[in-house]
């Protein structure tokens, strides 16, 4: 379910974090900034699973370090339970393994908690509108071959969820354009291209640029 920027958010946001004060603060922020009317809260992973039976849940904001969540790969379970809901990890961890593990398991974005308030809101807006957010810190870090194998099932699950911009970047990649060439063609910053490419590598389960081109040709073909 997408967020309406100029009107009340139509849906429920589930905030999952074992720190009650943080949950309450995020509720106030999202109620004010996104005009959200209804929230659910979870202090452990079991409560997250229970709350997903609520058909109005449109967004799940999940902390990785909560009781009952033993590995980022368990996010895949949430995706299977509610493929229509957007799932974003909001965590204090900047560990590459946590970020890549969450994205390969099906999270629609990974946001580090040290964001400024306006940046945080923008990330949520983008994810609710269908984008997939990857931290800029990963823009220069391509997954190694040993990390890419676990992403194959997720590629099948998410291949229909590529945003219009991500598909444009993918097409530029397939055409052999450099990052600079893609940026010029789409009239966006080169850094933005790198961020989209990082998301594409994770969605496709690609180990490198050439691998992404090969998988991309199958996807758009």
- Asked if residue 57 lies in contact with residue 11, where contact means CB atoms within 8 angstroms, the answer is yes
pLDDT at 201: 78
- Residue range 12-137, CATH number: 3.40.50.2300
Element (H, E) at 42: strand 38-42
Query: Mean pLDDT for the chain?
Result: 81
pLDDT at 174: 87
pLDDT at 138: 60
pLDDT at 220: 58
CA–CA separation, 149 and 128 (whole Å)? 28
HSE-up (13 A, CA, CB side) for residue 199: 28
pLDDT at 152: 46
Mutual angle of helices 164-174 and 190-204, in 10-degree steps: 90
Given CATH 1.10.10.10, say whether it is the number of domain 141-220.
Answer: yes
- Give span(s): CATH 3.40.50.2300, the chain: 12-137
What is the residue whose two structure tokens read 């970047």? Answer: 169
pLDDT at 59: 94
- Give span(s): CATH 1.10.10.10, the chain: 141-220
Kindly list the strands in the beta sheet with 12-16, ordered across the sheet, starting from the edge strand earlier in the chain. 38-42, 12-16, 57-62, 86-91, 109-112
Tokens representing 93 are: 């961890």
Residue ranges in the chain whose pLDDT is less than 70: 1-8, 136-162, 205-207, 215, 218-221
pLDDT at 141: 46
pLDDT at 127: 85
């Amino acid at each position: 379910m997408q967020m309406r920027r100029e009107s009340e958010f139509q849906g429920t946001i589930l905030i999952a974090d074992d720190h009650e004060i943080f949950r309450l603060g995020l509720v106030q922020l999202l109620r004010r900034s996104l005009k959200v009317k209804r929230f659910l809260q979870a202090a452990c992973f079991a409560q997250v699973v229970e709350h997903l039976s609520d058909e109005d849940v449109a967004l799940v904001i999940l902390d990785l370090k909560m009781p009952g969540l033993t590995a980022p790969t368990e996010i895949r379970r949430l995706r299977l339970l509610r493929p229509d809901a957007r799932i974003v990890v909001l965590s204090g961890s900047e560990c590459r393994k946590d970020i890549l593990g969450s994205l390969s398991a099906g999270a629609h974005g990974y946001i580090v908690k040290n964001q400024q308030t306006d940046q945080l809101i923008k990330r949520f807006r983008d994810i609710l509108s269908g984008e997939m957010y990857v931290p800029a810190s990963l823009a220069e870090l391509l997954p190694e071959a040993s990390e890419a194998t676990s992403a194959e099932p997720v590629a099948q699950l998410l291949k229909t969820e590529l945003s219009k911009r991500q598909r444009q970047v993918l097409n530029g990649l397939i055409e052999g354009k450099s990052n600079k060439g893609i940026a010029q063609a789409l009239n966006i910053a080169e850094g933005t291209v790198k961020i989209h490419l990082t998301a594409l590598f994770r969605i496709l389960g690609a180990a490198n640029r050439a691998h992404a081109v090969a998988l991309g040709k199958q996807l758009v073909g």
